[in-house]
């Protein structure tokens, strides 16, 4: 009976300790997803640029100006159209960076792929780059299946 109690106590301790180790990673991902949501609102014209700049790295703040935003919006509207249903499909972690890849629906293209890169050197992740492109996910999946 004592052995069973000891095993159960050990399992519970391991379970609780694993929750503690996962917490910083989940906080980072939550902040990154908040940043992506803010940037997408800016790119779709639902919010001003200033609302997303708090998530930008210092380098991106210098590069991503109102003129850059205007040009990016113009390109997105011309090539992709309205973007909806973005879902995180890939999270790649590197030493000092995270790369999140989202897939979603688009009006003028078969689908849209959004790639967002974050610097993770400091206490909080900072947005270091974003690209939005049209994608034909069905064709890409078929090509991957053919390679196998």
Note down the domain range covering 41.
24-147
| Contact between residue 110 and residue 138 where contact means Cβ atoms under 8 Å apart | yes
Could you give the number of structural domains in the chain? 1
Q: Which two tokens stand for residue 120?
A: 């993770």
Asked if residue 9 belongs to a domain, the reply is no
Higher pLDDT, 147 or 53: 53
Beta bridge partners of 93: 98
Q: What is the CATH number of the domain that holds 59?
A: 3.10.450.50
- Most distant pair of Cα atoms in the chain: their distance: 72
Asked if residue 111 belongs to a domain, the reply is yes
Sheet with 83-93: list strands edge to edge.
Answer: 83-93, 97-106, 111-119, 126-135
Asked if residue 16 belongs to a domain, the reply is no
pTM equals: 0.75
Asked if residue 18 belongs to a domain, the reply is no
What pLDDT does 137 receive?
64
Residue-wise pLDDT for 38-87, tens only, equals 999 999 889 999 999 999 999 999 999 999 999 999 999 999 989 988 99
52: DSSP letter: H
- Helix axes of 2-43 and 66-79: crossing angle, nearest 10 degrees: 90
SS3 category, 143: helix
Asked if residue 137 belongs to a domain, the reply is yes
User: Which single residue is written with the structure tokens 């052995």?
Assistant: 3
Please check the confidence at residue 112 and state whether its pLDDT lies above 80: yes
Asked if residue 15 belongs to a domain, the reply is no
Residue-wise pLDDT for 20-36, tens only, equals 555 556 788 889 999 99
């Amino acid at each position: 009976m004592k052995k069973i109690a000891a095993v159960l106590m050990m399992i519970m301790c391991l379970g609780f300790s694993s929750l503690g180790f996962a917490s910083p990673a989940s906080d980072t991902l939550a902040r990154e997803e908040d940043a992506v949501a803010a940037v997408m609102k800016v790119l779709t014209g639902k919010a001003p640029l200033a609302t997303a700049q708090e998530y930008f790295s210092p380098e991106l703040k210098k590069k991503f100006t109102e003129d850059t935003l205007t040009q990016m919006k113009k390109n997105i509207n011309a090539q992709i159209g309205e973007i909806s249903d973005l879902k995180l499909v890939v999270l790649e972690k590197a030493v000092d960076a995270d790369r999140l890849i989202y897939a979603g629906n688009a009006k003028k293209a078969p689908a849209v792929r959004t790639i967002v890169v974050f610097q993770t050197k400091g206490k909080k992740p900072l947005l270091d780059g974003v690209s939005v492109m049209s994608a034909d996910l069905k064709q890409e999946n078929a090509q991957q299946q053919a390679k196998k």
